[in-house]
Every structure is written in C-alpha cells, then in structure tokens.
C-alpha cells in the first residue's frame, strides 16, 4: 500500500496507521488510514473480499415428469456456501430455484364408442401425450390400462326363424333369422313331397274312344312334363292327357312330373261298346214341396261307359224329370224315378207334399 499526500509518499507508522475492519471473511471490508504526527485525518476505503469458488460441489439435474418435480443441475460452493447454476459460479441461484415443478399430464380425450355386433367399442378415456399413460378421468387421477376401456363386441342376436322362401316340389325353401344389424342365418326347408291325383285309377276304352285324364293335387311348383304310352299301337296319349284307344289289348300310360315323380294308369282297350258296370244315384228317397225342383246326381262306372243315363217318372203328373235328372214336384202324391244306364237300374221314390 502506498499513501501519498501532496506528492509526498507517507511512511507507515510514522505518518499514518492502518486500521482494518472485517477483513478476515468474504464480504465488505474496510481499511482506514489514520494520520499521525504531522498528518491528521482519516480516510476510510471500503473493499470487497470475494470467494474464488474453488471448492464447488456439483449436483446432477433431473428432468421433471408429469407427476414428479425435477431439479436443475447446480453447483454448491462449500466456502461461500452459495448455490450456482454454472460451474464458474457466476450465476447464483437458490436451492428452491433449482426445483423444476412437475409438468402435469397433457391429456387427449378419446370419446366412448358403443360396441356393435362384430366390433368392440370403448369407454371414454384420456391419454397423456408425455408419459403415454391412460386415465379414466379428465383430471388424470385414475390410471387405467387400455384393455380396461374395451367394450367387447356384442355378437349377433338373431330373432325367430321366419319362412323367407317357400319350399316347392322342385326347390328347398329357406327359413331366415335376422339380427338387427342386418346379418342373418338361414336353414333349408325340405322340398315338398311330390303328389298327384287323377280322376281315374284305370281306364277302359273302346277302340277309337277318347278320354281326357284330369290331373289335380300337384305339390306347389310341380307340373306335368310328359304323358307317354307303353304301346302306341294299343293306346295313344296327347301331351294334354287325351287317351285314345287304338287296338284291343292293355297298356300303361305314364305321367311324369317336373319333380321326377311318375304315376301310371292301366288302359284296357276293347272292341265292343264300353258298358256300365255300376250306377249310383244321390237319393233313393226324396220329399219335395209342391212346386219345388231337385236334380238327381248320378255316378256311372266306368267313367268311360258309352251307355247313356236315362230318367223316367212313374207318374209325370205328380213328378216330372228331364234328361239331365232334374225333378219337378208338380202335385201332391208319390212317384218313382227310374234311372238306367245299360243294364243297371236305380230307383228314387219322390213324395210331393
């Protein structure tokens, strides 16, 4: 230290004394020059005592997470007992300032979605962009697994089976059960059993006589595909079922259906007239009021009989009858109506009141 006054360098302890204050530790110190001898007065100079931060302790930083606070890295000088954010000790900080607060979750909402028959749905949930965790609440307090959000597919619920296609003799039918989503399952309905009814089970024809066989009772969807004869020389058959006797003998007429089913009729062809072998009438006794009428129905066998059916009244003043069997009750009394076909005969007794 050099103390100068008016160009003259003063001598320590002769011209002045030096008094130090707080000059042991880091901080503000004072030095006072106290004039003595020829010199009087005091000059006090303040000065700083700095720490060289030569004993820095480093603490690693730690990143803050969504839920946990982190720490910035820092240095601690064990001499001056200060904290710094740099190793050189130029940026002082506090321990509290090194704390990095938890970031908090950054949540994205996924809306709920109902499950369908075939696709799974989900409950609403939130996903954190940072930590990737899943939460059932918007606040991100209730962590869940993604699997917990899954609502399983419901599967189809089919209703009752309903007939959606009727079976025919040719094709199976279909019964269908529907789910509300439009999906469906089907089961087959067996094809109908073929059936056929003919108005005759056998046929007696005279040579050249024709008879039309009538077909009824076919199962739905079925049809006659062909008529054929066992022998064209004995009997012929048209594709409309008209059978014609050709020569004395018997043969078989075959009717074939679309379903594949077949039915056969034996045909007897004879040279002579086809005669009535049986005769039936609808009534053998009849009571009518005067003025009323009634038609007797008759059945002749075979159906191909060539003998005519005739009607005759025993008293046409009481009861008259026409060629078609229609009876008129004309007057009170009784009469017999005789019905004939060839050698067969039936009687109906009519009482008029």
**DSSP 8-state secondary structure symbol assigned to residue 182:** S
- Least distance between Zn ion and beta carbon 63 (Å): 13
> Vertex 237, ends 231 and 240: CA angle to 5°?
160
Question: To the nearest whole angstrom, how small is the minimum distance from the Cβ of residue 53 to Zn ion?
Answer: 4
Nearer to Zn ion, 183 or 347 (CB): 183
* Min CB(56)–Zn ion separation in Å: 8
- Whole-number minimum distance, CB 61 to Zn ion, in Å? 20
- Reading the block at residue 153, the tokens are 């597919």
Report, in Å, the least distance between residue 75 CB and Zn ion.
9
Q: Which is nearer to Zn ion, 38 or 81 (CB)?
A: 81
> Residues 130, 134, 138, 141: is their CA dihedral positive or negative?
negative
- 128 versus 318: smaller Cβ distance to Zn ion: 128
Alpha carbons 254 and 256: distance in angstroms, whole number? 6
| Among 268, 149, 153, CA closest to 207 | 268
Closest to Zn ion by CB, 53 vs 330, is: 53
Binding site for Zn ion (CB under 5 A): 51, 53, 66, 77, 79-80, 105, 117, 128, 130-131, 156, 179, 181, 183
The candidate with the shortest Cα–Cα distance to 74, out of 55, 87, 88, is 87
Distances (CA, A) of 250 to 232, 260, 265: 11, 25, 10
- Which residue lies nearer to Zn ion by CB, 126 or 211? 126
Angle value at C-alpha 299, between 256 and 350, nearest 5 degrees: 160
């Amino acid at each position: 230290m050099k103390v100068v006054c008016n160009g003259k360098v003063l001598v320590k302890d002769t011209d002045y004394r030096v008094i130090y204050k707080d000059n042991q530790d880091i901080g503000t110190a004072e030095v006072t020059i106290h004039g003595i001898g020829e010199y009087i007065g005091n000059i006090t100079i303040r000065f700083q005592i700095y720490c060289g931060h030569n004993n820095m302790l480093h603490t690693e930083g730690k990143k803050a997470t969504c839920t946990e606070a982190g720490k910035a890295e820092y240095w601690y000088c064990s001499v001056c007992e200060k904290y710094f954010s740099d190793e050189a000790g130029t940026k002082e900080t506090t321990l509290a300032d090194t704390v990095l607060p938890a970031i908090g979750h950054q949540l994205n909402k996924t809306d709920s979605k109902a499950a369908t028959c075939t696709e799974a749905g989900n409950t609403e949930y939130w996903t954190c962009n940072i930590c990737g965790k899943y939460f059932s609440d918007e606040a991100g307090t209730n962590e869940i697994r993604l699997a917990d959000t899954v609502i399983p597919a419901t599967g189809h619920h089919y209703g009752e089976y309903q007939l959606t296609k009727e079976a025919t003799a040719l094709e199976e039918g279909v019964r269908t059960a529907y789910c509300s989503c439009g999906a469906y399952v089907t089961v087959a309905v067996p094809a109908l059993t073929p059936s056929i009814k003919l108005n005759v089970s056998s046929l007696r024809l005279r040579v050249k006589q024709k008879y039309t066989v009538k077909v009824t009772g076919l199962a739905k969807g079925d049809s006659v595909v062909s008529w054929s004869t066992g022998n064209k020389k004995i009997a012929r058959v048209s594709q409309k079922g008209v059978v014609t006797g050709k020569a004395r003998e018997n043969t078989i007429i075959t009717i074939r259906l679309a379903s594949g089913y077949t039915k056969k009729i034996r045909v007897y062809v004879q040279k002579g007239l086809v005669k009535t072998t049986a005769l039936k009438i609808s009534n053998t006794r009849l009571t009518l009021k005067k003025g009323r009428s009634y038609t007797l129905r008759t059945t002749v066998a075979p159906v191909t009989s060539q003998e005519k059916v005739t009607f005759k009244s025993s008293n046409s003043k009481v009861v008259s009858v026409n060629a078609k069997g229609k009876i008129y009750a004309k007057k009170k009394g009784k009469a017999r109506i005789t019905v004939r076909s060839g050698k067969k005969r039936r009687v109906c007794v009519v009482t008029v009141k």
